[in-house]
């Protein structure tokens, strides 16, 4: 695949993004594309590996490596190199329902397993992927294509995040009549309200949802399943039910002062922000305002980065991000480090923007929060911390390193611990695991035969690309169950 000597002739390149200091002045998506000629060179770097690893997703040493969707990456890399864009789009669409989402927000475990990454920068798979699908939309290659025949069987999908949408899409293609229920006022779940607009423009989500709707999927918003529609009604009205509710219970930090009104979960901050932006361009003031405030984000993952970037756009006075773990090592390209679970140091868009605005990376490592400092009215004044060290996997506080950081707003971005303990689950009778997730078999089927589950609600907190893969697998399980 690609050019036989391409990996020798060409180096990895990325599009030049909007200047970090200027882009925090707006909420526009900052993603850009490489020129077509440069994209061909990037596709040419694909090595025609004897045994490619990029397209096979698995969990290795607790971390995702390779593409969980089994994308035909070498094939569409080769097509891009040869200028065969429509062929590249056809290959990409065989395995990925929503490349315009994964090409923007996926951390690209495919690239970490690229064989070229053994001794140099891997192939720029993610950029090629998003360029293919964006060109496909621009050229008009995507148009509503509803099934010619309906099989008369009805499926309810609960939740419209990436897992629910992928499942609905696959089932609809097979002729099932699919209804998607969403408790929020817009379709998209995590894609709509969990990821800020500058990272994933909501017009792209709405564009895909309209396409799915035009193909025959029915979407119902502002419906709380279990209350507005009962489990018994679902069982009566549908031949199968797919739970795709996500892993929405955030990990809390139960320390002194936690009850302050100025300590928020990250998703509360991000959801209110995006909804206010879409509803009124913030004119309704129905969002958590951090303008002129010292902000601390506790948690170092993608959600924490999104909180950093969102705070910057609202004009915070300062931004600090606490990480409990040590600073990761710098990335090296060696056979020993390839496919390894070693955390490597990366600068994401939020940290890049913080450095541009304030002059330094906002992250502080090996920091343990001890209490939230409040005044007599419960207003947040700061966070008391202590530095820690890790010895043989054990956390030890370092005496004499106590410190109080000024803060008027704190956002907790420490991950999620499972699906909500919904009345619906009890009413349906599905089994819940000790991790707080829905128990399923290899076909994503629960202990209740006509009920399936897909995505984070059964896998636990994970990547968008895993959610799409799980949604596709659940659809296949539903199809086999109903056809048999």
pLDDT tens track for 15-67: 888 899 999 999 999 988 999 999 999 999 999 888 898 998 888 877 888 99
Domain with residue 345: its CATH number is 3.50.50.60
Closest to 183 measured CA to CA, from 227, 234, 232: 227
* Token reading at 450: 């006509």
Q: Kindly state the average pLDDT of the residues 294-298.
A: 98
Question: Which pLDDT score is estimated for 1?
Answer: 65
Predicted local distance difference test score (pLDDT) of residue 420: 87
Closest listed residue to residue 194, CA positions, set 283, 307, 290: 307
- 2 has a pLDDT exceeding 90: no
Query: Quick one: pLDDT at residue 173?
Result: 98
* Mean pLDDT within 290-310: 97
Phi-psi region of 248 (alpha: psi -120 to 50; beta: other; left: phi over 0): alpha
- Does 303 share its domain with 423? no
pTM: 0.96
217 and 338 belong to one structural domain = no
The mean pLDDT value of the chain amounts to: 95
Token pair 């920091």 in the structure block, residue: 367
pLDDT at 3: 87
Assess if residue 315 is contained within a domain. Answer: yes
Last residue of a domain, which of 372, 388, 412? Answer: 412
Domain boundary among 356, 380, 412: 412
pLDDT at 61: 78
What's the rounded Cα separation, in Å, for the pair 395 and 375?
Answer: 30
**What would the mean pLDDT of 321-340 be, rounded to a whole number?**
88
Separation CA 474–CA 479 (nearest Å): 9
Domain count, the chain: 3
Residue 256 included in any domain: no
Of the candidate ranges 17-26, 53-62, 274-283, 453-462, the one whose mean pLDDT is the lowest = 53-62
205-218 pLDDT, tens digit per residue, is: 999 999 999 999 99
pLDDT surpassing 90 at residue 331: no
222-238 burial code (b ≥16 CB/10 A, e <16): ebebbeebebeebbeeb
> Are 18 and 70 in a shared domain?
yes
pLDDT-derived band at 335, boundaries 50, 70, 90: confident
Same domain, 394 and 432: no
Same domain, yes or no: 291 and 380: yes
* Residue 145 domain-assigned (yes or no): no
Strand order in the sheet with 240-243: 218-220, 177-181, 154-158, 240-243, 451-453
Q: 43 is in which domain, residue-wise? A: 6-139
Contact indicator for 119, 152 with CB cutoff of 8 Å: no
- Confidence class for position 196, pLDDT limits 50, 70, 90: very high
Domain contains 255: no
- My answer on whether 158 and 52 are in the same domain is no
Shared-domain flag, residues 381 and 426: no
The per-residue pLDDT for 64 is 87
Is residue 182 located within the same domain as residue 214? yes
Mean pLDDT of 232-252: 96
Whether residue 455 is found in the same domain as residue 332: no
């Amino acid at each position: 695949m690609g050019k036989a000597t391409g990996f020798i002739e060409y180096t990895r390149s990325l599009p030049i993004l909007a200047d970090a200091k200027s882009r925090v002045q707006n909420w526009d998506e900052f993603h850009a594309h490489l020129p077509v000629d440069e994209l061909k060179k990037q596709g040419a770097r694909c090595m025609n590996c004897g045994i490619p690893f990029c397209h096979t997703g698995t969990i290795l040493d607790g971390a995702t490596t390779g593409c969980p969707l089994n994308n035909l990456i070498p094939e569409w890399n080769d097509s891009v190199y040869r200028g065969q864009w429509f062929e590249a789009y056809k290959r990409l669409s065989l395995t990925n329902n929503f490349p315009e989402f994964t090409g923007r927000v996926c951390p690209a475990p495919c690239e970490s397993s690229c064989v070229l990454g053994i001794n140099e920068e891997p192939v720029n798979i993610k950029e090629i992927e998003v360029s293919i699908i964006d060109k496909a939309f621009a050229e008009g290659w995507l148009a509503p294509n509803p099934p010619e025949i309906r099989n008369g069987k009805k499926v309810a999908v609960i939740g419209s995040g990436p897992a629910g949408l992928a499942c609905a899409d696959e089932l609809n293609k097979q002729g099932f009549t699919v209804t998607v229920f969403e408790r929020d006022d817009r379709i998209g779940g995590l894609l709509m309200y969990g990821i800020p607009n500058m990272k994933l423009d909501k017009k792209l989500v709405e564009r895909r949802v309209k396409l799915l709707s035009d193909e025959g999927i029915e979407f119902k918003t502002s419906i709380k399943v279990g209350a507005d529609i009962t489990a018994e009604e679902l069982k009566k009205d549908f031949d199968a039910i797919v739970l795709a509710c996500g892993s929405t219970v955030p990990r809390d930090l139960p320390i002194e002062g936690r009850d302050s009104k100025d300590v928020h979960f990250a998703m509360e901050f991000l959801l209110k922000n995006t909804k206010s932006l879409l509803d009124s361009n913030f004119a309704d003031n129905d969002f958590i305002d951090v303008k002129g405030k010292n902000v601390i984000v506790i948690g170092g993952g993608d959600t924490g980065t999104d909180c950093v970037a969102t705070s910057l756009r609202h004009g915070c006075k300062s931004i600090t991000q606490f990480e409990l773990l040590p600073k990761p090592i710098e990335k090296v390209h060696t056979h020993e480090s390839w496919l390894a679970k070693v955390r490597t140091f990366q600068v994401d868009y939020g940290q890049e923007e913080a450095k541009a605005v304030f002059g330094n990376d906002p992250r502080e490592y090996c920091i343990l929060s001890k209490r939230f400092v409040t005044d007599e009215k419960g207003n947040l004044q700061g966070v008391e911390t202590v530095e820690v060290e890790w010895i043989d996997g054990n956390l030890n506080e370092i005496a004499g390193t106590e410190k109080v950081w000024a803060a008027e707003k704190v956002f907790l971005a420490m991950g999620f611990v499972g699906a909500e303990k919904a009345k619906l689950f009890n009413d349906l009778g599905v089994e819940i695991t000790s991790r707080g997730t829905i128990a399923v078999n290899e076909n994503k089927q629960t202990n209740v035969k006509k009920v399936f589950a897909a995505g984070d609600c059964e896998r636990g907190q994970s990547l968008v690309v895993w959610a799409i893969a799980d949604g596709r697998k659940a659809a296949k399980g539903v199809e086999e169950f109903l056809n048999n």
